[in-house]
Structure 1
Amino acid sequence: MESHDLWIFKHVAELHSVSKAAEKLGYVQPNVSQRIKSLEDELRVKLFMRNNRGVTLTEKGNVLLEYTNQIILLMDEAKSVISPQKWRESITIGASQTISAVRIPQLFSSFLKEHKNMDVKVRTNDKQRLQEMLSYGELDGVFINSADNSSQFETVYRYFEKIVLISPKHSQLEKQHDQTLIVNSDINCIYRNKMIDFANKSYFHDPTIMEFDSLESILQAVHDGLGITILPADVAYNRKEIKTVQYQELSDTIMIDFIIKRRKQKPQSLTKFIRFLQRT
C-alpha cells in the first residue's frame, strides 16, 4: 500500500463520495475510483458499499480507516519533529457556535503561548455532525454537552458553565407569559432545550419559538426586542455593551465535556492540548 492511496481512501471515507473526494483533491473521478479499486484488489476485500447517496465503509473498510488515520498521524508527527521549521504541528477542534464564541478562543490564547509552533483550526457545527466528524477522524476533539456514543468516545476534560437569561429591558417575565423564545435551530442544542425548559417551568402560555442558525442573529433578535434567550454567562457578559438588554443569571449550570475518539495512539498535539486543559 502506498501512503498516497491511503490519503485518497481517507478522503472518500470521510466524504462518503468518490466524486466529492476527487473534487476536493483536484483529481478526475476515474483516477480516484482506480486507486480505491487497486487497494481493494491488493487487500482482497471490499472497502466500500455503493448506494444512491454515495459510498459507506464496510467492516473491513472501517478497520483500514483506523490504521490509515494512525499512519497519516505518524507521518505528520515525523515531519514536524524532524523539520519543525517546515512542518508545523496542528490540531483541529470542533464545537458549537455558542461554545466556541468565547471560551475556546480564551483557552487557545493561553495554550498557544506555551506551544507557538502549532496551527489551530476550530470547526463549528451542530452536535450530531461534530460527533460524526470526530468519528471519521476529521477532528481531534470536540467540546460538547454529553456525547451520544459513549463507547466510541472518551471524556478527557470537563467544565461547568453558568447560564444567563437575556431579555429586552423592561420585559416583565413574571407577567408576560406569551414570550417569544429565541433559540438555535439545532433541536439538540443544550441552550435551546434550557430555554424551552425554563419556559415550561415558568408556566409560559404556548410561547412562540423563533429559530436562528447563528449566535449573532440570536443576540440581535433579543437586542431588537423580539424575545428572550438563554446563553452561557461568558457569552452574555462579553456583550455587556448592548444597553437594550438585561441579564438574569440562573441557578442551573451546563456541563461541557471535551471528548476524543477512543484509540491506542493520540497525536502529540492533542496530548499536549489535553495536558494543558487538565492543568487549567
Structure 2
Amino acid sequence: MESNELRIFKAVAEEGSITKAAQTLGYVQSNVTARIQQLEAELKTQLFYRQHGMILTPAGVKLSVYAEKIIHLLDEGKKSLNDSAAPSGSLSIGANHTLSSLNIPSLLSQYHKSYSQVNLSLTTSHSEDLIYKILHFQLDCAFVNIFSIKDDSIVKELIFEENLVLISNLECNKIEDLFLKSFLMYPTGCSTRAQLENWLRLNGVTNIRFMEFNNLHSIIEGVLAGLGVSFVPKSAVKKYIEEGSIKYFTIPSQYSTTKTFFIRHKDSLKTSALTKFIDLIELKTPYGKLFPINLNT
C-alpha cells in the first residue's frame, strides 16, 4: 500500500465519484479506477459500493480514518523538514462569512506584503463546516463564530466578542415593525441566525421569512434598499448609523453577543508561516494577545 494510493482513495471517498476525484487530482479517470481496484485487491476487501456513486463500505470507513492520519503525518513531516525562520510554503485559513467581510481581507493584505513567499488561501463558510475542515486537516487555522467547541483535538486560542443589532431602513419606527419583514441572513448553520431565531420565538414570532445571502455587504445593501431587515455586528454598520441611513435596534445581551474563536488542530505543525500570522493578529487587530481557552466554555 503506497501513500499515493491512499491519496487517491481519500479523494474518491471525499468526492464520492471517480470522475470528480480524477479532476481534483489531475489524473485520467482510468488511472484512478485502476488504483482503487489495485488497493482493493491488495487488501482483499471491497472499499466502495458502486451502485450510486462511490460510497464507502464499512471496511472503507475504517481505512479512511487511517488514511487521513497517514497522509497528515507525511505532509506534516514534509512541512517540518522544509520549515525555516523565513515563512514560506502554504497557509490555508478559514473564516466565517461575517468576519471575512469585516477583517480578513485587510489582515491578509498586510500579511502578504510582509511574507510574499507564503501561498495564502482563504475559505469562507459557516462555522460548523470550518470546524470539520480543521478536524480533517483541510485548513491550518480558522476564525469561527459558534457557541462552544467540544472536541479535544481543537486548540482554541482567542475570543473576540462583538455586539449584534437588528437593522432596517428608515421606514421602520419600532422593533415590532421588523417582525413583518423578511430577514436577510446567512444560510442555515450560521450561529448568528440561530441566535436571532431563538430571540424571535421568545417574542412569539414563529413564521419567520428568510432571504439567504453569503455576503455581508449584499445583506446591508439589501436592507438599505428596503428588501428586508437583518441581524449583524454593530461595527459592520457603524458608518451607516452615523450618517443616518440605517436604523438599529438592540435586544438582550444573551442573544446579541457573538464570540469569534481562533482555532487550529492540536496535531498540526505550527509552522513559521502560521506563527507569523498569529503574531500579526496580535499586533494589527483588536483581538489582543492569543491565549489558551477552555474549549467547553
Distance across 1 between alignment mates of 2:138 and 2:46: 19
Q: 1:35 to 1:205 in 2, by over 3 A?
A: closer
- Which position in structure 1 is the counterpart of 2:162? 161
1:261 maps to which residue?
A: 265
| Offset, 1:221 | 2.2
Is residue 23 of structure 2 the alignment partner of residue 23 of structure 1? Answer: yes
Pairwise CA distance, 1:242: 7.9
Q: 1:70 aligns with which of 70, 73, 88?
A: 73
Local SS of the residue matching 1:21: helix
8 Å Cα contact 2:160/2:260 also seen in 1: yes
Q: Which one-letter code corresponds to 2:259 in the other structure?
A: M
Alpha-carbon contact 1:182-1:221 (below 8 Å) kept: no
Go from structure 1 to structure 2 and tell me whether the alpha carbon gap of 1:175 and 1:155 turns closer, same or farther (over 3 Å shift). closer
| Alpha-carbon offset, residue 189 of structure 1 | 1.1
**Residue pairs, 1:167-178, within 5 angstroms:** 167-174=168-175, 176=177, 178=179
Letter in 2 for 1:130: L
Q: CA deviation at 1:228?
A: 1.7
- Offset, 1:213: 2.6
TM-score (norm 2): 0.75
Counterparts of 1:36 and 1:267 in 2: how far apart (Å)?
33
Percent of aligned positions that are identical:
25
Q: Indicate the residue corresponding to 1:230 in structure 2.
A: 231
Q: Match of 1:230, SS?
A: strand
Change (3 A) 1:174 1:233: closer
Distance 2:239 2:13 in 1: 40
Contact 2:169-2:224 within 8 A present in 1 as well: yes
Per-residue deviation at 1:231? 0.9
Spell out the pairing of 1:105-184 with structure 2 (5 A cutoff).
105-146=105-146, 150-174=151-175, 176=177, 178-184=179-185
> Are the counterparts in 1 of residues 187 and 214 from structure 2 also a CA contact under 8 Å?
no
Between the aligned partners of 2:8 and 2:205, the Cα distance in structure 1 is 55
Contact 1:95 1:143 in 2 (8 A): yes
Q: Structure 1-normalised TM-score?
A: 0.79
RMSD of the TM alignment (CA)?
A: 3.5
Output the CA distance in 2 between the equivalents of 1:106 and 1:19.
38
Q: Any stretches of 5+ residues in structure 2 without a counterpart?
A: 289-297
Tell me which moved more, 132-141 or 1-10: 1-10
- Residue deviations 1:222-256 (CA, integer Å, cap 9, x gap): 11113321112332236669864224466432111
Moved more, 244-253 or 14-23: 244-253
Deviations 1:141-178 (A, max 9, x none): 22212366524433132211222322111411245364
Query: Mean alpha-carbon deviation: is it higher for 191-200 or for 136-145?
Result: 191-200
**The 10-residue stretch of structure 1 (16-25 or 262-271) with the greater mean CA deviation from structure 2:** 262-271
1:36-95: CA deviation from partner (whole Å, max 9, x where unpaired): 3445556x475944353423342233112112122123335545659x8xx942111122
Q: Which amino acid aligns with 1:227?
A: G
Question: Match of 1:256, as an amino acid?
Answer: T
Q: Paired residue for 1:61?
A: 64
Task: Give the Å deviation of 1:99.
Answer: 2.1
Inter-partner Cα distance in structure 2 for 1:81 and 1:199 = 52
State the alpha-carbon separation in 2 of the partners of residues 242 and 212 from structure 1.
27
> Are the structure 2 counterparts of residues 148 and 185 from structure 1 closer, same or farther at C-alpha, using a change threshold of 3 Å?
same
- Structure with the largest fraction of strand: 1
Aligned to 2:291: none
Amino acid at match of 1:24: T
- Distance in 2 (alpha carbons) for counterparts of 1:47 and 1:258: 40
Change (3 A) 1:155 1:237: same
